[in-house]
Chain A
Amino acid sequence: MSMRVVAVVVSNDQPLYLEKNLEALEKQSFRIERTLVVDSSKSTETNSILDSFVNQSSKHAVLAIQENATFAELSALAIKQALEGLENLDEIAIWLVHDDSLPEVHALAELVRALELSPLVAIASPKQLGFDNPKMIVQQGLTVTSTLKPFSLVNDELDQKQHDWMSDVLAVTSNAMLIRANVWAELGGFSLVAPELAADVDLGIRTHQLGYRVVVVPTARVRHAELSLQGLRDKKWLGGSVKFAMAKATNHLRLAHFPLFVSFLYWLALPLLSVFQVATLLLVKRPDRILFTLRANLWAFFTVRARLRDRHRATLKSLRPLFATSTQIKSRTRLAFELEEQKTNLANFQEAPATRSNVLQRSFASSGGLWVMLGLLFVSFKYFPLGQAAIGGFALPLSDTWLQLFANTGASYQFVGLGIAAPSDPFNWVLLFIGSLTFFAPNLALSAVLFVAMPLAYFGAWRLLSTVTLRNSVKIPLALIYVFFPAFVLSQSVGNYPAVLFSITLPWLLFALARAGRLGVTSSIRSNAQTWSWIAASSLLFAVAAASAPSALLILVAVAVTYAVLSRGRFATTAFIVLPASALLTPYLIHQALINQSPLGIFADPTISYPTKPQSVLHSIIGNDQLLGWAAIGILAIAAFALLSKAKGIFGLGILALLALVNLIFTQSIAFTAGGTGSIFLDSTSAVFDSPAPTVMFLGLIALLGIGIWLDSLTRIGIRRIVVGLAVAGLMPLAISSITTPTVITFGESRNLPAIFEAESKVGNDLRMLIISKRGESELQEFRAELIRPNGLRLDSISTAYRTSPQNISSGADGSVKSVISELVGNLVSANGKDLVPALKEVGIGYVLVTNNEGNADLAVSLNSVTELDQVGTTEFGQLWRVKASESFEVQDQQTYWSITKSVQLGILFGFILLALPTSRGRKSRRDVQALNEDSFQLEQEQQ
């Protein structure tokens, strides 16, 4: 039986391709009985071509469709029109051709032969070749994986006839597909509810279920531009981006073809699956897929009724032999990965022509780095955590339990002092991370931070310097100078955790940025996954730096802008890098600026309001040891001479250094509100100031980078030796200064309030403690009072927002709790015999403590006379009284562990941590395989 063929061309705004397509149809060696072009073009450019086409023959016809219609609708309409008037459908085949394809002369003849040879073959498809490069096979048959993901059997492979043995497949692309007219009628055409990219597979499955075969005919060759898959057509054509269309297709196939119960479970699990998919995509460094995956899942979840309409009674069990095998999937994945690596290497080469990846570089360990770190640990012997926690200076212990630390992090209500609905300090997230390292005793890890600070900072500085020089003789002394810089040593000695953590983080941040931006003299980036890892690492380090030192916010902004410029305008990546920092800081900054109406408060560094004075720039740099600290000035002077060198980037670093100096003056000029929790023990009654350490450490690091670049560029060894010698000469006094700097902190118990008070809070009693101290000169009757809640004097419960809030600043309106406390203090200190129980009960005060500060002796005398109090005794924190009636007080702070803001922040951080986790390049993990198969139709397009 000889077949008659009716060709249907689906055209959509591609006049150039269409013209060639129609010419190719005309040249087919097999006679086409009738050709119908269904055109849904919006432009009029195709009109002349179609007019000419119609005029060529009476067998030609055009069906113009003005409305928006899907491919399935267009093809259904056109085929119906094309078959009109034709009889004996059993002898007729429909050749459905896309306008962006170019069939070779014998293509149709080969396809027809396949149908004629076997009456069971219902659909025959040609080998799809590259439009511009017909030596490449772009597609040859479709199938699905065992989880019903669409899978292209051949994809972008050089045609060496290696797939010419293929015959039966699960499905084929609709382009150049020859289908028997009677089967088409039986099937009812493409599914009208299936997404575009699922329709082909769905048609193939249904064809098989009717007992027919679907085959590819390798001898039939059609060049195909795949404009839809290339994303070169209007997005409406696929109902969105290619990736989105692919994700929708997968979901549709699962809901329509899984067994009903499994489909139902899949639909129910879609929200949870979305979370899992996002986590997986982050882990395999494909954040670009997250958005469309989520959209596709949402689409599937809310259009489930339409998906169910495509369900059929038959099962897929019999079709499993046609599914993609694991070998095929692995092979495809490996191929895709190698392709990606090639592209990344090419990008590295193109984008960073100055890199010297071929220069042999000694690793950190082989350059003696580990020994230096060990030496630095010895130098830091003073900070060996001999106790549970470091106390003194800025240092406060963390909450004793991880759960309490977690509750205090990202909280929207602060159970501190009088209480305040405000975001907790972003720095708490850093503390949570550190505390989680030893979750069974959070203080342990925090105490160890001071001990390991120098080695970690050295390691970071060494890695950063390795981006500007390969010479160990330069890197080692410069990295050592960084860790011995007076600002760092001083921060360590006073337990200034934020400044210490900033100083550790800073070189790592700049190093990660250099890696993410492929900057520097070496680059180890070999895949997009690695790039994403470094970008995520930069993001997290940026967040740590910003949360630790808001005083350096302006500098960090400058760093971000510099990164964007140096990395060839990757502003989107830069925005991505600052995303975690924005997520952590934005609620806090908004509260400070708008609710507290304290815009300058955003520059206040976290932790307790330690009594400090503003420092001049010179003093900030040289630190406390005036003599030895001058070595730091010497290092800056050497850096200034680097400006005379020809090396690139020096001037930019000079500008950044000037910016740091300006920032130093700016932040030291802000007198921040004193007070807040715990400050009563420090007697910080007047304004307090930011530590200059973060800005000075930035200045120092920039200077060292400048020196590194200069020394690396020097061709005269003599000059280099002299400068290195000078640097080492500067290193010596700095090192001596670091060893001789006295420490303010001590290691001991994590308790920093009277034991009886803490013990009561541990058994669930939330009674508060009122701490009173005299302030000012003895002649004046001025007192400070602080309300301390259980667990209230911990580093993670200190709130900078509270410090600048009206709760802390205002004197309190009459009748307010603050006013009640204020009056209570007045009556307590005067011991005038007034009934104090109502006030004590209202505030929930169980204990009264008078600090050991000078001038408080009279206070103790007064409190001894207050009948409502029982003297407990003298503690290391002062004299303590218990409120006799406190047993009847009912006080309970209902602390919650979650808030919406916290969930969002945690989600973002978790995502970035997943993204930052390095994954092995060599091992082709299952996750890699799955992710890379998400849209295996067009792996190359994903690289965009």
Chain B
Amino acid sequence: MLIRVLRFVLVSGVATAVIVLGAPLSILSTAKVESKIHEVSAKDLQITCTGPAFIAGGKNQTSVSSFRRVGSASSSISYSAVSGTSLKGYSAKPITGFGVRQDIFKKLSKFTSYTVLDKTGKSAQGSSLLTANQIQLANTKSIRGLMAAPCLRPQSEFWLVGGSTAIGREALLVLTNPTPIDSTVDLQIFTENGNSTSAGLSGIAVPANDTTVVPLSSFVLRAESIVVHVVSRGGSITALIQQKAVRGNSASGADYISPAPAASTRSILPGILVRGSKDSSKFRAKADKYSDVQQLLRVFVPGNKDATITFQVLGTTQETFGTVLSVTASAGKVTDFEIPGLADGDYFGILDSDVKVLSSVRLVRSKTIPGAYTDFAWINAAEAFKTARYIAVPKSGISKLSVTNPADKPTTVSIRIGGTTVKRTIGAGATEVVRATPGLSMGVIPESDVYANLVIDVDGRISVLPLLDDKNISGRVEVSVH
């Protein structure tokens, strides 16, 4: 018996120890796959501005099958003019680079592409080489408001988080194909009711060197909340949503919704600069048609798991007090959350979610008297960056750069405006708002990850531009072949 007890103790003791404590030892491995590094030259960097706004065609501007452009847009271009490169698209002949950054402007009557020609293909691409945006202050019976959008590098996939096709709201999807290859676009449209299964979402033709305008109301009529997923085949395209509001008989508010970055569990939204909050309240109290004159958080949850979200709206100064939303967003649907109680001031948003989400904020600005107006802007979650990013600043209006450091340590950013560089220290979890010089591009050179948006105010109307860093694949490319 003693022997049996001993062998029980021995075997079960060792087995228990191994089962409870046994864990793999990370000491053995077979060889790892090696990569080969190549220095490759890049395709010339091209960005495309979408051009002036569209209004419905026809006699009464009610046709949904034809659209025409209205007015002109003003594009602002920041070109580094690196030696050995030239800028095509600005004028009949390319502008040759001589090593001095060029801030140039051009009126647009149609979509326009700017291309940096680089014979060597060795110049570092990105916003430091070329960046551009366009603004248009529309002021017609059909459309009123400041519309700003970045000029985009043609791509094959976009997520557009914003827009509405409710009564009095018009959302036009503007698809531009600047390439010589025809493109076919498939759409996925998500609303507060989930994924739209309307006919015609696939196979939308975007001819080469042309623009196709698609009214989203033809797919999702009277949808309050929209997120659009655009996928193209064939030639690469750019995509924007042109959103406008018509309150009663008069247009009141317009903006472009530009592509959002990939879904994430943490999103930073700088540039929530609230002004005229009291006037907005007055508008809302006045009539239902102004019910959407309110700051708003829009969230889309891809996948099939609901998102538990905490959205902090934080003031940039000690005088501004933000708010916190703790909400749940349904999976596969677009959900809007109003952000109430924000007094005038500069804010930024930090969104944390347990699953990856796409998010944006609608910013409104109003004035009751004199010359009453109300306008809105859609602010996308910003991209993190730690290398230099440039943005062209329009000549008109007041532009403010909002730079956020969400980290728990302060960081320093160098901001280059024209030939001047200023350094700013941004506290942990804080935002620095820097006023831009009209017509002079701004470069942001951070020491650690920061997020930034440029807020543009033209005659009280607002729009927000992201700091993008468009570049083609080049330079050091690592390839592992199997």
Residues on A lying within 8 angstroms of B by beta carbon are 417-418, 598, 600-601, 604, 614-618, 621, 633, 636, 640-641, 643-646, 651, 654-655, 657-658, 661-662, 664-665, 668-677, 679-680, 687, 689, 775, 778, 780-787, 804, 808-812, 818-819, 821-823, 825-827, 829-834, 854, 857-862, 864-865, 871, 873-874, 879
Contacts and interface: CB of A to CB of B under 8 A. Distances in A.
Interface stretch (B25-33, B83-91, B220-228, B404-412): B25-33
Contacts of B231: 874
Which of the listed residues A598, A658, A804 has the most CB atoms from chain B within 10 Å of its own CB? A658
Nearest to B6: A643
Nearest to A666: B28
Contact of A781 (B23, B34, B236, B476): B476
Contacts of A680: 482
B40 interface: yes
Contact of B43 (A601, A661, A830, A860): A830
B477 A781 contact: yes
Nearest to B475: A781
Contacts of A830: 40-43, 121, 472-474, 477
Contact of A864 (B14, B15, B181, B478): B181
Interface in B24-53: 24-36, 38, 40-43
Interface stretch (B129-137, B149-157, B209-217, B316-324): B149-157
B33 A673 contact: yes
5 contacts: A669-B26, A784-B482, A808-B482, A821-B479, A830-B43
Nearest to A662: B18
A657 B36 CA distance: 45
A614 B25 CA distance: 9
B478 A600 contact: no
Given A654-B11, A657-B15, A782 B27 contact: no
Contact of B36 (A786, A819, A864): A819
A643 to B, nearest CB: 4
Contacts of A636: 15, 19
Contact of B22 (A644, A661, A783, A858): A661
Interface residues of B, number: 57
B20 interface: yes
The 3 A-B residue pairs with the shortest CB-CB distance in the complex, in nearest-first order:
A617-B22, A614-B24, A671-B29
A683 to B, nearest CB: 12
Given A672-B29, A871-B233, A857 B157 contact: yes
Contact of B478 (A417, A654, A782): A782
Given A665-B24, A781-B477, A818-B481, A831 B43 contact: yes
B24 A640 contact: no
Contact of A640 (B11, B478, B482): B11
Contacts of A859: 473
A664 B23 CA distance: 9
A675 B480 CA distance: 9
B428 to A, nearest CB: 23
Which of the listed residues A418, A618, A879 has the most CB atoms from chain B within 10 Å of its own CB? A618
A643 B6 CA distance: 9
Contact of B41 (A657, A809, A832, A857): A832
A655 B7 CA distance: 10
B5 A644 contact: yes
A658 B472 contact: no
B479 A822 contact: yes
A676 B11 CA distance: 41
B167 interface: no
B253 interface: no
Interface string B157-197: 10000000000000000000001010000000000000000
B167 to A, nearest CB: 35
B234 interface: yes
B8 interface: yes
B36 A831 contact: no
Contacts of B12: 640, 643
A665 B156 CA distance: 47
Contacts of B11: 640, 643, 651, 654-655, 657-658
Contacts of A812: 36, 481
A614 B23 CA distance: 8
A604 B30 CA distance: 10
B262 interface: yes
Contact of B42 (A668, A832, A860): A832
A675 B31 CA distance: 11
A781 B24 CA distance: 32
B84 to A, nearest CB: 15
A864 B8 contact: no
B22 A665 contact: yes
B141 interface: no
Contacts of A787: 481-482
B286 interface: no
A658 B12 CA distance: 9
